[in-house]
A and B are shown apart, each in its own frame.
Chain A
Amino acid sequence: MSTEEFKHESLQDKESIVEYFTALSEGFSKGRLAFANKEKQIIFEPKGLLKLDVKAKRKNDKVKFSLKVSWKEESIDKKKDTGSLVIGLKDE
């Protein structure tokens, strides 16, 4: 079993965050999501059924909104890695 991981943390404002959503939504339209840093690249090719979880939460002044997309990569005989994409937003 192998694990590939990509992580990117940043601060955004409501204007700049749209660029991230646009890049992701383009990726879904093309059926190819690429995440890369200097050393490695992870490519997801979402097909078939994608599970989408949307969560929104407010607790006092802390707000959190998350989108989680998960699916299994196509494989008939053996189970392969599960593709999963999480988009989270948290108010500090």
Chain B
Amino acid sequence: MTRKRIRVLWLLASRMNNKMLSLDDLNENFRFIVLEVTKQLEETLKVLEHPNDKSIESIRTRDDYIDNLKSTIENKCFSRILNNPDADKKVVSLMRAVNIISNNLEKIGDYAVNIVGQMQYFSDLVILQEYNYKAFFEEILKALTSIVDALTKRDTSMALGICKSEIELDKLYDSNFKNILKALSEGKDIGNLITTLFIFQYLERAGDALLNIGEAIIFAIIGEKLKIHQYHALEETLNSPEIDTSLSDFEMDSIWEGRSGCRIGRIHNDNSQNGNSQEVIFKEGNINKLLKEKENLETWNDLFPGLPPRVINFQKNGQNASIAVEYLYGPTFQQLILGETDASTLEDALQLIKKTLKLMWEKTKKSQSVNGKYLAQLSSRMKDVYKVHPDFRTSQKTIGTLTRPSFEKLVSKAGPIDEELSVPFSVFIHGDLNINNIIYNSEAKRIHFIDVYRSRDMDYVQDVSVFLISNFRLAIFDPEIRSRLNYIATDFYRFARDFADEQNDHTFLVRLALGLSRSFVSSTRFELNQDFAKAMQLRAVYLLEKLVSYKGNWENFPLPEEVLIY
């Protein structure tokens, strides 16, 4: 849901080119709507604690005022965008964000009215007081308080905090829902319990509105970290082709600020008549990065024709360049796993991935010492991890005679292992082998690699660890899909281990433990679900502690494959 919403916003914004605008009077309306909705919630809480008609009436009146504010903001946002065709893109994004935020604030205001509207159905208010509705209000009010600063100061952590409130509100709803169900099963106070449940439902929906608000702020900020999500969203767009196109008369459908600082878009033709349609992916950006990508695409195509997309065009333009590559049809491996794919198709795709990788590794194997430097990669990402999860910066802990180092100390203690363990051969790796970068064409029964700009001669453990964690880190807890993910991770792990055995690669498991630790931790910077992020962090700590305390010969280092299972 999140990604799709961001995608739609982006597509709309990218179509509007605007110039600088003054935001002053809009800011005033904006601050007012936040303030009024905050008051609305505070007053609603008071009504729940001590119901009185006067407060209920004032909530209803304020709702009209909030509606008016919302309309005013909407009018101003739209007229500014439409009247300023050359405005700066960032200003347009901000306008759009302000509009989305005020729409969602108005929704929260409506929920407040709905909640006080429920009060008339209580025959006994004692029941309501038995449930922790205050916690919902605390969470909502905390999020509301940070909206203005998050947007005006362009503070990503505050915006993420607002997004997180949705998770907290869902949790609160779940626990209260269970308690109410339990109470209902006793058969007493049914009317009062159901009314209480309705109130909680409105409070839970306020969480959904807050998530929209947090996302809108993130969109307005467009921070470095979030470019990756946008990038993935673009991938989703590209995997649902709805327009028949040809290259003869193309237009840019969307422009993206990619992770590598490149702008990415899909080119298509709106009036294809000859039926000879084709879509291409277009990237524009730093010449060195794009040259590297072009080189890698060509290297891959020489090695395995058709494995990556074909390069259609490459243009240099001073420090910048643009590249057009073939658009490949078919779901990514991730979409296959998450979709309603039958087991045999999934198995075919997995077998094909393993077979292709084995061929690739054998064919490109070179005798040279390489080192993945997994912990150096980890260290460079810790700043972003701590921004989202400050509590992962743990301190040293002592329990009696037992001491466990701080996380940073643990990483530095494991550093020498990372440096010491080079592998005596390299293979040409994908470089970012996550399950989103593999496309499966079920008709041709073949796979394709996309995003190969990081391909190089390197330790294959880099690809193995990224692939494994890209399964694990999907925050999907549906038992059936989770068992698919667990199966794929275990099966792939065993495949890679067998390859290592064949190659007499005796330190494979040690390097894999380092690579997995790196990926577990760095994946948490995109994971707002605290429990799940913690599960990944704890796995990394477990592996690093195991490495640091290991006294034996590295050839016998045990890596419990259970770390890959969730």
Chain A residues within CB distance 8 Å of chain B: 6, 8-13, 16, 19-20, 22-24, 26-27, 33-39, 41, 92
Contacts and interface: CB of A to CB of B under 8 A. Distances in A.
Contacts, number: 56
A6 B534 CA distance: 18
Contact of A11 (B398, B401, B538, B549): B538
B545 interface: yes
Contacts of A27: 399-400
A65 B404 CA distance: 23
B275 interface: no
A37 B397 contact: yes
A35 B399 contact: yes
Contacts of B545: 10, 16
A13 B560 contact: yes
Given A92-B535, A92-B566, A37 B541 contact: no
A26 B398 contact: no
A37 B395 CA distance: 6
9 contacts: A8-B397, A11-B539, A16-B545, A22-B402, A26-B401, A34-B400, A35-B398, A37-B395, A37-B396
A36 B396 CA distance: 8
Nearest to B396: A38
B399 A24 contact: yes
Interface string B390-413: 000001111111101010000000
A24 B400 contact: yes
7 tightest A-B CB contacts, nearest first: A38-B395, A23-B402, A11-B542, A23-B400, A36-B398, A27-B400, A11-B538
A63 B45 CA distance: 40
Interface of B: 395-402, 404, 406, 534-535, 538-539, 541-542, 545-546, 549, 560, 566
A10 to B, nearest CB: 6
A22 B399 CA distance: 10
Contact of A37 (B398, B535, B538, B560): B398
A5 to B, nearest CB: 13
B480 to A, nearest CB: 15
Contact of B541 (A10, A22, A33): A10
Nearest to B562: A13
A36 B397 contact: yes
B158 to A, nearest CB: 26
Nearest to A19: B402
Given A36-B397, A37-B395, A92-B566, A11 B402 contact: no
A38 B393 CA distance: 12
Contacts of B402: 19-20, 22-23
A92 B542 CA distance: 14
Contacts of A9: 534, 538
A33 B560 CA distance: 32
A10 B538 CA distance: 6
A38 B406 contact: yes
Contacts of B542: 10-13
Contacts of A6: 397
Contacts of A34: 398-400
A23 B401 contact: yes
Contacts of B397: 6, 8, 35-37
A82 B128 CA distance: 33
Contacts of B566: 92
Contacts of B399: 8, 20, 23-24, 27, 33-35
Contacts of A92: 535, 566
Given A6-B397, A10-B404, A20-B402, 8 more contacts: A8-B399, A9-B538, A10-B545, A16-B546, A26-B401, A37-B395, A38-B395, A38-B396
B563 to A, nearest CB: 8
A2 B542 CA distance: 33
Contacts of A38: 395-396, 406
Contacts of A11: 538-539, 541-542
Contacts of A13: 542, 560
A24 to B, nearest CB: 7
A26 B400 contact: yes
Contacts of A37: 395-398
Contacts of B406: 38
